[in-house]
Structure 1
Amino acid sequence: MENAEPEEPQKKRPHLDHVETARNSTFQINNKSGMGKKMCPDLSRDILWDILFRLPFKSLVRFKCVSKTWDCAINDPWFVKSHHQKQSTKANNKIVITKGRRLFLADIESLDVEEFIDFPSELQLQGSCNGLICLTDRSESEIILWNLLTEDPKHIKPVSLQQDRLRYSYQGSVYGFGYDSSNDDYKVVRFSTFFYISRGITPNAWVYSLRKNAWKEIEIPPTFDFIRARNGVFTCGALHWLGESFLEDQKFIFAVDLETDIFRKVPLPDSLVGLRTSLNIGVLGGCLSVTSLLPQHGVWVMEHYMLKESWTNLFSILAYKIARPISYSRDARKVLLQEEGNMPYWYDLERQNFSQLGICGLGWGYCVVENYLETLVPASGYGRNYTDL
């Protein structure tokens, strides 16, 4: 989350005075004889909060079972946001992978793999943001927001496609998923394309607000024709897609600002403007990135958002398919790349060579890969406030 760390007024903190394991400001434990034994005298609530903030996410999920008080405290919006902000400075090293009907969470450093579920039908991974992932089924009859740690999926009914007096055929949809920090809201953006006999291909756009639990249609600028491609890329408070203006005969990056739901153009590097080549966009180290296949396979990053002069050619590689950067390694010496639909692989920036990621058990076949950041952000019931206990 992009908000600055909130102030900590006492009234907004859930009280832990009555937590069973910390009564009377003291932790106690039963020994084998059943007698209570003081472990740490005068352990204040502030120290307890400090301990909770340092715990990994999976431990916090388990500790929610200690009691109702602990469950409410760990689920409290203030704690969820504050814990995320304190943990977000650590390097992210997890990716989420959908492959057919299976979903995996993998650690790109340790290569540990966790298979979450084998779905009854194939799902499409449309985005990942702050611990929530966005999934759709192939028929686009359902959208699912899901925190893989808290396992509280939110099922969303897609916006109904309005009938028109003119005959049309539905061409398909692309999605994006991101976070509006100004309103503390998570949003799904859906572009749907229709072919009208009288006026050709026409895109429509809708935005779903998790906080409001509602869809609204947004206006697309008349010069924006979008390329049907992979899901939107989220960074700097906006979702990004590759676009093309048929009137101007050029490609560009367009964005939807999630605070205002308004479109804007993002400038490409000068060397790519007007170039007839395949492009792909992604996020690397928090910066918007673009990859070009020709004249050389180059990876560019926008070091200062919306500043055209800040585009920097990070590296160039020899590849036959266009690759999208996913993440840096923990030591920042390698970049994780993925060619469309294939398993990701490492590129060593110093040695300028490739190596397999080495995740066992996934095999070959089409897959979708996104970064995954562990948080306690809930999908269902998002935005609810807890009263002091």
Structure 2
Amino acid sequence: MGRPHIPIDTLSDILSWLPVKSLKRFSCVCKPWRSMLENPTFIAQHLKNSALKTNGGCLLLTGFDRRKLDHDMFMFLDGKLGVSACLSVPIQVEYGVKFLGSCNGLLCLSRSFESDYLLWNPATKQHKQIPSADPNNGEPDNSFYDAFVGFAFVAETNDYELVRVAYYCYSDDESMVALSQVYSTSTDIWREIDSPLPCYFHQISGCYKPCRLSIHWTPANVKGSLYWTAYKFVGESEVNVIVGFNMVEEVFCELAMPELRRTIAYGIQPVELKGSLGLIDYTPS
């Protein structure tokens, strides 16, 4: 009597519901299994099935440990806050690590105070170093001031991309300029885009100040667009707004901020809630 045979379609459907840790072990069974698990169609189905699960987890980045020169990353089970894993980031750092966003199990990180970025899959322990986004390629003769980065998966191109808004300050009059760039994992390069920030530069005391995106929170990733809380100048006053970036059309937009209990947006976290854009208002007690 021969061994029972499981049709490849049935096997693929069963495996597509398993966690990545199990799939990593099963990829060592035989070459056909490994080929199936690395197939883009299977990967897409696995991501789709994972999105249907309701027992998702959350992430917490702990404080910087100078003895290890890295951050520890804890993964908590939803609702229980029990530590399921404690992982160290795969880069050596001096001043800490910034968490810039997550998508389909991938984390986007950067070294604090630096302009290089990393994509990391904690489940497989694999990571990809992103090329530096801050060379002097046609940029104005000024000094780097700050940068804000968003990370998303673009379904239309089946690609992971980063958008970066970098601020530069002219040394002569302290005016600021903003440079927008997009990175694609398929091309592995950064390119400048022409779409300006919707909050136009405003002149105050002889200096041009652009719209500032909130440095305190990662952007919300909602249906192919990223959203930051920000402020702009209207006259001599600062006005809170929401700035969005469409990853497909590569254009910025401005949304009005709903009425809040606070006058500044520093404590407002944009989030994705069941496919819609939401805001969490952190009010110190």
TM-score (normalizing by structure 2): 0.80
C-alpha contact 1:282 1:290 (8 A) present in aligned 2: yes
Is 1:66 aligned to 2:29, yes or no?
yes
2:103 is aligned, of 114, 129, 132, to: 129
Greater Cα radius of gyration, structure 1 or 2: 1
In 2, Cα distance between equivalents of 1:162 and 1:75: 38
1:108 is aligned, of 78, 94, 119, to: 78
How many Å apart are 1:176 and its aligned residue?
Answer: 0.9
- Equivalent runs, 1:15-54 vs 2, <5 Å: 41-54=4-17
Q: For residue 154 of structure 2, what is the aligned residue in structure 1?
A: 180
Q: Percent identity?
A: 25
Per-residue CA distance 1:304-355 (angstroms, 9 max, x = gap): xxxxxxxxxxxxxxx426xxxxxxxxxxxxxxxxxxxxxxxxxxxxxxxxxx
Q: For residue 208 of structure 2, what is the aligned residue in structure 1?
A: none
Q: What amino acid is the match of 1:235?
A: V
For these two proteins, the number of residue pairs brought into alignment is 257
Structure 1 222/161 Cα, relative in aligned 2: closer, same or farther at 3 Å? farther
Q: What amino acid is the match of 1:178?
A: A
Q: For residue 95 of structure 1, what is the aligned residue in structure 2?
A: 58
Is 1:320 aligned to 2:277, yes or no?
no
Per-residue CA distance 1:190-215 (angstroms, 9 max, x = gap): 12111223461222211101122111
Q: For residue 155 of structure 1, what is the aligned residue in structure 2?
A: 129
SS in 2 for 1:160: coil
In 2, Cα distance between equivalents of 1:88 and 1:165: 40
Q: For residue 78 of structure 1, what is the aligned residue in structure 2?
A: 41
C-alpha contact 1:98 1:124 (8 A) present in aligned 2: no
Q: For residue 252 of structure 2, what is the aligned residue in structure 1?
A: 263
Structure 2 unaligned residues grouped into runs of 5+: 65-70, 201-210
Is 1:232 aligned to 2:231, yes or no?
no
TM-score (normalizing by structure 1): 0.60
Q: For residue 220 of structure 1, what is the aligned residue in structure 2?
A: 196
In 2, Cα distance between equivalents of 1:146 and 1:178: 14
C-alpha contact 1:123 1:135 (8 A) present in aligned 2: yes
C-alpha contact 2:147 2:166 (8 A) present in aligned 1: yes
Higher relative contact order (CA 8 A, sep 6+): 1
SS in 1 for 2:143: strand
Q: What amino acid is the match of 1:57?
A: V
Is 1:195 aligned to 2:169, yes or no?
yes
C-alpha contact 1:223 1:247 (8 A) present in aligned 2: no
C-alpha contact 1:126 1:231 (8 A) present in aligned 2: yes
The alignment yields a C-alpha RMSD, in angstroms, of: 2.6
Q: For residue 205 of structure 2, what is the aligned residue in structure 1?
A: none
C-alpha contact 1:226 1:241 (8 A) present in aligned 2: no
